[in-house]
Amino acid sequence: MEPTPTDQRPDVSSSSALTLGAILVIVGILLFVGQLTGFSVGELGWPLIVIGIGIVLMAVGLLVNREQGLVIAGTITTTVGLVLLYQDQTGHWESWAYAWALVGPAASGLGLIIWGLRSGSPSDVRNGTWSLLGGLAFFLVGYLFFEGVIGISGEKLPLPDWVLPAVVIAIGVVILGRGLMARGEPQQT
């Protein structure tokens, strides 16, 4: 019986398990060393720990496993840590009302761009760019709405009334243009 193409591929779940296991062993050793030396992880600030975890995930995805999912997970986790660092330093926790757009579509798009550059995939770079831009657009609209119209932080931004509708229209025009351009492109199968 000849091996099928799927039999010839390395077992990705086994490779991921080995990588995750090695990371956990290293983190455990570092925690023991911290206990022996009296260093507390909490001294770093918990958002920095989240950022560090994201960077490790991204590095493992890019360098060790060469796995798209870990790269995207790393950019999302790092972005969560950066948003939490901002919120922790400023006390502006209300910003989650619109900061989610940086974490979801924007960070995953950035991860896809990074992966596309790593793997040489122009389609991943293109799709990631659109996701990143979409996330930034959602963030901008959310920021203008929650901070400019509602004043979620306690005081409204001093913006003219026309700014939010103009931004929404501009983003809509870009999306319509993208949709029209996509109609002229040949379909990929």
Residues 23-75 have pLDDT tens digits of: 778 778 877 887 888 777 666 678 888 898 899 888 888 887 678 888 999 99
**Are 93 and 87 spatial neighbours (Cβ–Cβ below 8 Å)?**
yes
Q: In this predicted model, which residue has the larger pLDDT, 106 or 179?
A: 106
Tokens found for residue 157: 């931004």
Query: Where do the structural domains in the chain lie, given as residue ranges?
Result: 45-184
Please report which confidence band the pLDDT of residue 14 belongs to, taking 50, 70 and 90 as the band edges: low
Please report which confidence band the pLDDT of residue 139 belongs to, taking 50, 70 and 90 as the band edges: very high
Residue carrying structure tokens 């913006």: 159
CB atoms within 10 A of CB 108: 20
Contacts of 96 (CB under 8 A, 6+ apart): 83, 87
Q: Cα-Cα-Cα-Cα dihedral of 153, 158, 164, 170, to 10°?
A: -120
Number of Cα atoms under 13 Å in the Cβ half of residue 70: 22
pLDDT over 50 (residue 9): no
Contacts of 185 (CB under 8 A, 6+ apart): none
| Residue 142 CA to its chain's centroid (Å) | 18
The tens digit of pLDDT for each residue in 90-134 reads 999 999 999 999 998 999 999 999 999 999 999 999 999 999 999
Please report which confidence band the pLDDT of residue 188 belongs to, taking 50, 70 and 90 as the band edges: low
